[in-house]
Every structure is written in structure tokens, then in C-alpha cells.
Chains A and B, each alone.
Chain A
Amino acid sequence: MTEMAHALRVQNLSKSFNDNSVLRGISLDVATHEVVCLIGASGSGKSTLLRCINLLEPVNAGRIWLGDEEITRAGIDEDRVRQRIGIVFQAFNLFPHMTVLRNITLGPREALGLSRSEADERARGLLERFGLSEKSDDYPDRLSGGQQQRVAIVRALAMDPELILLDEVTSALDPELIAEVLNLIRELAGRGMTMVIATHEMSFARDIADRVCFLDEGVIAEAGPPDQIFTAPSHPRTQRFLQRIIAAGRM
């Protein structure tokens, strides 16, 4: 067996909000170029896990490595870590007072220290690649939801991250706008981007994931290749979750 390069390692991660124990011992390894989908009911802790990985939430116990650097150790430069991880939120969270181009170049310029022309060039290249060129001078609220979310993904990509975290990025979109965003993510996967994707789009997860993790009450109840999880789930709670999804017509 060859030694696998790990982009991300999560070991025994626990997180609670006051008395509410949200993550209870999560362990998860993500190989470079791997796409991992997190599925699970609302409130099972998917967003919290992604936010912990990005150090947006302090963890109570457990350790996280990005590449071979432990990012949960004391004294870590959190800003440097976040520069290496992209995250895209359900609600886009674009900066409404900045043009699309400025949204995308803010991080590269201020955090990475790129010159304006370097950052602009990088941003325009990405916008071009994802069919958003004409939008570069618009303000976010002139864009459709699908366009906004694609810009948010481009904003994360412009940091040239080692890893991208996607948190239910299509949940706030009208149905007809979902496909354009999912197609973009497919393209990223095709280019070998390492991704952890929390999603309710089961057919998308089945299609794109190398591995699917079913989160249930703060633990990964079951993990495996999508075919196994979706056709022959072994854990009774996974079975019940998938039955509910099918009953709701979401698969």
C-alpha cells in the first residue's frame, strides 16, 4: 500500500455550545484530491464541523491537522491557517458594499499581499473560467442567487486554497439555480480539488463523492463509498435517514 498524502486529519473532535454537545468525537481523514460529502439531518453538526476545521469555532477537545501541521495547537496563526482553507457558506456572505471583483480580490490582496494587478488578473481569470466575466463590476445584489454563490466559490478559489469546505451551498437557492452551482463544484472535483461538502443533495453526493460520511447526533455513524452508503447502508439510523430522504422526494 502506498502512503496516502493527507490534506486534512480530524481526530476525536468534540465541540459543545454550553451544555449542548454538538460534536462528540469526530475522526475524519481526507486525502489530497479526495471529495468527502457529509450528509445527515439538520442539526446533526455538519456546519459546526466545517466551522471547527476552519477555526471559526474553538474546539473543546480533539486535534486537527492541515497537511502535516497541527492547526489546533496553542499559538497557531489562525489567519494563516484560514488563508489555506476556503469555505463557502449557505447564505453566500458576499460583501454587499464591494463589487464582485473587489469581493474576490480582497483576500488575495490584504491577506496574501498580492499586488492589485496580480490579484485582479487572478480574479478575472477565474471569473472568465466560470462564465462570470461580465459581472465583475457589479455589486452582489444585482446578481441572481446562483451567480452570487458562484462568485462566493470563486472568492474562495482566489486564495488558492489546499482544501475547500462547502456548507450546503445550494440550500438557499431556487431550484432552477442549483444546477449551475453544482456543475461548478463538479468541475472543481474534476480538477482534483480537495473538498469537504455538507449537502442535502443526495444524488449530487452520490455522483461526486469519493466517500460519504453520515453524521448523526455529533458522531460519524457510518462512512464509506457512496454506492455502499446509498444502496446498502449498514447502520439502522443511516437506513432511516435515507428512507426519509426518499420519502421526501429528494433522491
Chain B
Amino acid sequence: MGDTKRSAGRGSRLLGNRAVLVSTTSTILFFIAVAVVVALAPGSDIVGERFLNWVHLKQSLLGTATAPSVAEAFLLNVRMFMIAEAIILVLALVIALVRGVPGPVFFPFRAVAVVYTDIFRGVPLILVLYMIGFGVPGLGLGYVSTRSDITYGIIALVLVYSAYVAEVYRAGIDSVHQSQTAAARSLGLSRWQSMRFVVLPQAVRRVIPPLLNDFIGLQKDTALVSVLGSIEAARAAQIYGAEQFNYSAYVVAALLFVLVTIPLARFTDHLIARDRRRREAGGAAPGALGTAAGAPHDVPGAIG
């Protein structure tokens, strides 16, 4: 069984190679066509000079004596989204769990979680940035009011995106059938143990794709923190452009953002494809392949 599976995999990879060849050829032809059309357009020389000037591309990437390096500025974006994502993963989970805690005693906590997600999903990120970035320093609260723009930026990102990600988690938790909880509770596990060992592992696995999707959005939105004055990639490109009257720096910044989102996007696709394969293979979980060759597959669809 393992053999047929492996050779089937090889077969589809061969097919995949041919598809890659076809798609590469068609992509090249497509871009040649676009280039020809652009080159023939009346303003093409000006556009090429303004957006794709090799000297400016390189200079903006590395920085000049007066303009910051876009590449270096982009490291700030990376730092912001890495810190924000780590915090969001945890905070959003806490919000989702609080929303699901039963019992009248916990009503105020549930209410806070609901109000929180409603507000921060509704308010545009840029307004949250203004309110945190300009409002909190204005409060004169000592330590709290004297943090850097970057810190306020990260806080705003965390506030907004945690609301989204909490909803993603909640959808995942709801998607685990209640018979799984019943089975866990019937073993004498507490509510929290059932959540931790039985529901959450299944829920998180299911929501990884939408969760990574939200993170791609977050990575782009780090550019908005520039409204607080931080010199991240988009702002650095703007400074360069204003100084040199050339927009190649924007292209550089755009490419850098794409460069970090593409791996994440492909990774998301990979996970989705793996999940689909797993379902189609009768739901073999990772690590189970190969150890159970020959086991019958007549699984009734009754499991959670």
C-alpha cells in the first residue's frame, strides 16, 4: 500500500513538473507581451525612469547619506510583525476561551470579550493607531505614556488583529463536535482538561490556514505604523522618493513585503493541501502513514 501511494506521489510530481514548464512558458510570454505594450505606451520612458531606475532601486535599498535604507527600515516591519504575531497568538486564544467559559459568574468576562472583539474588528486600524499613538502619550501617565512609536504601533496591531484571530479560534473551537467533549468529560477530565487535550488541538489544526491569512494582512499593515512617525519600509521609501523625485524606492519596499508574504502564503497553501490529502486518504494523521498498512478503512462518518 505504501508503495502504490509513493509511486502515485511521484506520478503527480512528474505531472506537476510539466505543468510548471507550461505555466513558466506562459508566464514569460505574458510578461513579454506586457513589456511590449508598456514600452510602446507614450509615457513608458518616464514611467520606467521614475519607477524602475536601476540606480535608484539600488540606492534606496541601501540608503544614502540623507535617506534611510529601505531594507534596514523593513527590518523594523519584520520586528513589529514578529512581536505582534507572537502576542496575538496567545492573547486571541485567551479571548476566545474567555468567550466560551460557561456559567453566570463569568458573564462579565464573556461580555468584555464580546465587546472587545466587536469594537476592534469594527474600528479601522489607522484610527486605533492614532488613538493609541497620539492619545496615550497625551494622557501623561508616566511610563505608559512615554513608550516609543513602535511600541504603540505594535499595541494597536495587537489590539485589532487579536480581535480577528480570536474569532478564528472561536470558529475552530465550535467546529469540534460536542461528542468529543462528552467523551473527554466522561473520562473524568475537567472542562479545562477537555479543552486543552481534546478540543484545542483539533481546533487549532483546523484554523491554521485562516490564521496565517490574517497574519499576512498584519504584515502588510505594519506599514501603517508610519503614521506615528516610525521610519519603517514604506515611510523610508517615501522619504527617498521625496528627496530624489523618483519612485523606485516604493517598488523596492513593495518587493520586500511580497518577499515575506509569499513564503507564508505558500506555507498556508501547503497546509490546506495537506489537510485535503489527509481527508482524502481516509484521514490518516501525520506519523500514522506507513505504520498501519493493510488496516481496513471502513470508517463510519460518525466521528466528531
Contact = CB atoms under 8 A, between A and B. Distances in A.
Given A95-B198, A96-B283, A83 B188 contact: yes
Nearest to A95: B198
Given A94-B303, A97-B201, A172-B302, A142 B282 contact: yes
B23 interface: no
B182 A93 contact: yes
A109 B48 CA distance: 67
Interface residues of A, number: 44
Contacts of B183: 89, 93-95
A54 B183 CA distance: 11
A95 B180 contact: yes
B298 A144 contact: yes
A82 B182 contact: no
A168 to B, nearest CB: 12
A26 interface: no
Interface residues of B, number: 34
Contacts of B186: 54, 56, 82, 85-87
Given A148-B299, A172-B302, A141 B285 contact: yes
Main secondary structure of the interface of B (DSSP, over half): loop
Interface in B196-217: 197-198, 201-202, 205
B190 A79 contact: yes
Nearest to B205: A97
A106 B303 contact: no
A82 B185 CA distance: 7
Nearest to B288: A139
B2 to A, nearest CB: 13
A110 B182 contact: no
A155 B179 contact: no
A96 B283 CA distance: 9
Contact of B295 (A90, A106, A142): A142
